[in-house]
Amino acid sequence: MATRSPAKAAAPSTKPTAPPAPAASRPRPAAALAPSTKQAGGAAVKLGGETPAGDDLAPGVMDLKTMGGTFKPPAPIAAFLDGRQRSRVSTRFGKLADGAIEVETRAKGKYQVRNQRLSLSHPLFARIGEAAPGLAPCIEVNVASEKIEGRVGFAAGAKLDAFDAQIGKAPELLGLVGISLGALSGVVNSIAGGKLKVGLSSVPITLGQAFSGKVTLVAEDETITFDASATINVKGLATGNLEMKRTADGLITGKAAVGLQLPKNLSGSVDVAWDGRAVSGEGKVGYKGEKLSGDVTLRLMERAQAQQLEEQKKAPPEQAPPAPSPAAAKAAKKVDYVVFGEGDLAFAFNAWLNGTAHVIVDPKGYVTIIGKITPQQEFELFPQKDYVKPLFKVEIRASYGIPVVGNIFIFANVGMDAFAKLGPAKFYKIIVQGTYSTDPTKARDFSIQGTLNISAAAGARLRGEAGAGLEVLGHDIKAGAGVNGIAGIKGYAEATPTIGYREKAAPGEDRKGEWFIRGDLEIVGQPFLCLSGDLFVEIDAPWWSPVPDKKWTWPLGGKEWPLGSSLGFGASIDYVFGSGQWPKLDLKPVEFSADKFMTDLYADKAKSGKGGDIEKPGKWNDKNSKAADPPPKSSPKGNATAGKAPALSPAKSRVQPGGTGKGGKHVDPNARTATGKSVKQYQDEAVKKGGKPAGGEVKAGSGKAAGAGKDKDSRREQVTQALGALDQVTARHAKDGAGKETVATDVKAVRRKFSEVFKSLDVVDGGTTWDYAYEINPKGKGKGPKQVKKAAALSYPKPMKLAGETVGTEMTIDWMNHKFPKKHPGSPPKSGVQQKLMDLLPTEPGNKSTHKFVRGHLLNEHLGGEGVAENLFPITGFANSKHLHSTESRIKKWVEEKKDKWVWYRVRVGSFKNDLTSNDVDKNYVDSTLSCEAALKDESGKKAEAFQTTITSTYRDPKRTAAVIEELPTTGGRKKQP
């Protein structure tokens, strides 16, 4: 057998030759996780490059792993080694590591390897390329006395760093990004018996500078064992355990649902997560209290950030802040996490203060409203209530003088009652100031202000009925009276009262408190009694009397009589909102002489005038303070009895005219009359004159001759009533005036009622008033109300049906100024209006504004728009808000501030699209577009400002719900001058 001599060995090196620096390992793609905590490693990647050729390189490749723990090279390699003192051998450790190592031959079959490196490619270091591109994992191999030993280290060129030293400084080399390691007593790092074992076993960790735990991450050959968890300790959360898992590409994540440790109003849990770089936490939890309810989102954040947001009253950002870099994370201090949240809650502080508000939730679980609280509507404290108090009822004597006969006395019953109407009382223009919070340290900053308006009226009613029939000196005399009188004052008090509040809950509890006002309302005036009815005296004189057979009448229509003192009442109002309690009311006494009243009526001393109601402003005296104790739930009683006084029926005389004798009774001729003459003297004078006088003006009392008979009396009464009706039209518009069309409508009603009186009746221009031109007989003319040539005109021309309900699709108002909303107060949607339609749509208050429908006013409530079907159309709450802020607020400002200008305003609803067929109301909708135009103009119609807006109302789509505003030219342009 032929033999070959070994080649001459190269001169031995004085130190081991380091292999070339390996390329950085790259992350591997993620693989599906097996249920076990052990994961198979990926295929080895050759990191050392091609093995360099040379005379000192042994033939073939030796595998240290297959040798077990004893170094026994294959025969060809051993032969090569035995022929040289130092040799290089291509070596591998299974599929995990490879490279060329230097082997020193001590003697034949005796070898030594000192600190030789093999480039290591292992899934345990899958993320080292991201963490430290300049480092490469390797196996450091040593052989002595045939025993193979080794350990894992990190090579940076010729330098080799120990595994535990580098891992202690940079846990991210093992993919433990954002995780700090504690004591490294559990480091595993060895090659023995042909097995590689490296990693961490039960090493304490701090996750995200916040949570403490332990990690086991050990690679045994190609298999990786991973087990890690951290204890969640966050203020506001229960203690929880965050279990982590590792993907095939080395990403470590974890997630746990942790319950709350917050006030009982909050319920639910927060999902705490680790994404491989940072801790995060978020959870939608429920909130339920008496004032607030709904869902809020809680998030984990650093305590300092939460305190800053709380002080600034800001909601947390929707996106969590970026995770710190590993270097920054190592430098950071321990993080103190807390929960902090935000959301939209439905609030219901009381019947008039409710809606939806944006809130934040602090780490203690206290809720603070950071959005604006806008009350839904005005609130009625109590409705109108009537009171009555009897003043007197007396029997009086009135006198009346008749020629020849003298004074006669008429006895009458006269009674008087005082009455009052209090209410309705409403609270509106409500403004919320400060911040509402369930945190007792912040609750003191919250207050409510609004305008209190209480309508009131007081009056006095008189009723007198008299009658007498007697014969004096042969004269048959009848006298009677049926008199009603009513006087009143109307007014209202408007003030901004102090609103007191008392919390009924323990600190931090969410319960409704008590709101209350306290003050005195007084309304006083001196009105005139408006009289109705009539008086009469009828005489049937004997043949010899110079007194004619006559009847004197005094129609009292259009007459007035002054009260002797002021009239009114005082009301003590101690009111807890929502209690429905009634004020204490005291009617003021009235000075009145019934004797003088009836006597002067027979003397025709009542003056012409309308009498009746007068308007007087009420006076409010505030008696409250915010810190006062609430009033009792029931008010003390006043001197007036609750109840409505019955309507006054026409008063009747005790006797009726007619049926007197013929003066044929015997009279003593020597009897003296009131003139001093005897009856005999008057008889003689009558004989000389040829009989009884024919009549004429007789100065009896101061009454007026009744005329030619009963028919003429009836005619006069009709004329009086007809002209009185025109006076009522004038009085109706006395304060604010009216347009010609309005006055003409009222006058037509008068003419229809008194068609037998008026031959013609027209409204004519009197310069500053609208006057009445009428023909009765003769022609006449009367003054009417003052002119308002620019009277507001409101119309709803195109209502339609939707789901069987009437809805408004167009509204136009012209010549609207600041007086219109006061004379025509608007209202919220009335009860039952469009109810069937709204039952088919989502209307839950807690829904997002784009996910619920409201009955939107075409003409805003505060501009005089009533809550009737023709003025309402269903739109989303979001679109309703857009309509308010883009259009209605500007028009309100015009009306309130530009008092010398008028407004033309039109709203049209179009582009209808709806589906109301589903049994699930959340699937039903009505989409539409509101097109609005408005112009501010002067008396001549010249525009000062003009604009138009387009508001789309789209269900569940805020991006398609928008308000487009376009300013319009005030002269010329494409828009027609309104």
Mean pLDDT on 245-273: 91
pLDDT above 70: residue 420: yes
Residue 138 or residue 704, greater confidence: 138
Instruction: Average the pLDDT over each of 119-123, 620-624, 691-695 and give the range with the smallest value.
Output: 691-695
CA dihedral (550, 555, 559, 563) in degrees, to 10, reads 80
Total number of residues shown for the chain:
978
Query: Where do the structural domains in the chain lie, given as residue ranges?
Result: 38-227, 260-369, 379-425+450-642, 710-782, 793-967
pLDDT surpasses 90 at 650:
no
Bridge pairing between strands 223-232 and 925-937: unpaired
The H or E element spanning position 587 is strand 584-587
The pLDDT of 774-784, averaged and rounded, is 64
Supply the pLDDT for residue 480.
75
887 DSSP assignment = I
Most confident of 12-21, 389-398, 649-658: 389-398
For the record, the structure tokens of 80 come out as 């090569």
For residue 977, the model assigns a pLDDT of 36
pLDDT-derived band of residue 703, with 50, 70 and 90 as boundaries? very low
When pLDDT is averaged across residues 477-481 and rounded to a whole number, the result is 75
pLDDT surpasses 90 at 298 = yes
Mean pLDDT computed over 264-281: 91
- DSSP characters for 426-462? EEEEEEEES--BSSTTTGGG-EEEEEEEEEEEEEEEE
Weakest-pLDDT range from 4-18, 623-637, 685-699: 4-18
> What's the pLDDT score for residue 512?
65
Q: Is 640 helix (H, G, I), strand (E, B) or coil?
A: coil
- What is the predicted pLDDT for the residue at 17? 37
Q: Are 287 and 294 contacting, i.e. CB atoms less than 8 angstroms apart?
A: yes
What is the reported pLDDT for 517? 74
Least confident of 125-129, 181-185, 641-645: 641-645
Question: Considering the chain, what percentage of its residues have pLDDT values greater than 70?
Answer: 68
Structure confidence at residue 36 (pLDDT):
30
Q: What is the pLDDT of residues 18-39, one digit of tens each?
A: 333 333 333 333 333 223 333 3
Question: How much is the mean pLDDT over the chain?
Answer: 77
pLDDT given at position 656: 60
| Degrees to nearest 5, angle at CA 177 with 174 and 178 | 140
- For residues 187 and 528, the model is more confident at 187
Confidence (pLDDT) at 969: 84
Q: Which of the four pLDDT bands, split at 50, 70 and 90, describes residue 915?
A: very high
Q: Say whether pLDDT at 1 is over 60.
A: no
pLDDT reported for residue 682 = 77
- The C-alpha atoms of residue 198 and residue 151 are separated, in whole angstroms, by 8
pLDDT higher than 60, residue 495: yes
Is the pLDDT score of 234 beyond 70? yes
Q: Residues 849, 872: contact at Cβ < 8 Å?
A: no
Report helix, strand and coil shares of the chain as percent, to nearest 5: 15, 45, 40
Residue spans of alpha helices (H) in 538-610: 594-602
Q: Single out the residue of 116, 158, 154 nearest to residue 138, CA to CA.
A: 154
Candidates 392, 398, 416, 559; CA nearest to 466 is: 398
Average pLDDT over residues 699-705: 36
**Average pLDDT for 781-807:** 78
CA distances 42 to 95, 121, 585, 872, Å, are 10, 9, 93, 70
Higher pLDDT, 611 or 415: 415
**Residue with more model confidence, 683 or 704:** 683
pLDDT above 60 for 228:
yes
Model pLDDT, residue 75: 93
**What's the sign of the alpha-carbon dihedral 348, 354, 355, 358?**
negative
Lowest mean pLDDT among 158-172, 287-301, 568-582: 568-582
**Given pLDDT bands bounded at 50, 70 and 90, which one contains residue 871?**
very high
Class of the domain covering 793-967:
alpha beta
% of the chain at pLDDT higher than 90: 32
Predicted confidence (pLDDT) at residue 639 exceeds the cutoff of 90: no
Tens digits of residue pLDDT in 81-127:
999 999 999 999 999 999 999 999 999 999 999 999 999 999 999 88
Lowest mean pLDDT: which of 166-170, 353-357, 378-382, 932-936?
378-382
Q: Which residues contact 516 (CB under 8 A, 6 or more apart)?
A: 499, 500, 501, 502, 574, 575, 576, 577, 624, 628, 630, 631
Q: What are phi and psi of 14, to 5 degrees?
A: -85, -15
The model's pTM: 0.46
Of the given ranges (33-47, 314-328, 431-445, 605-619), which has the lowest mean pLDDT? 33-47
- Whole-number pLDDT of residue 948: 95
Is residue 467 within 8 Å of 480, Cβ to Cβ? yes
Token pair for residue 553?
A: 């009448």
Please give the structure tokens belonging to residue 307.
């305190």
Handedness of CA 638, 644, 650, 651 (dihedral sign): negative
Question: 2 falls in which pLDDT band (50, 70, 90)?
Answer: very low
Question: What band does 745 get if pLDDT is binned at 50, 70 and 90?
Answer: confident
How far is the C-alpha of 547 from the C-alpha of 404, rounded, in Å?
8
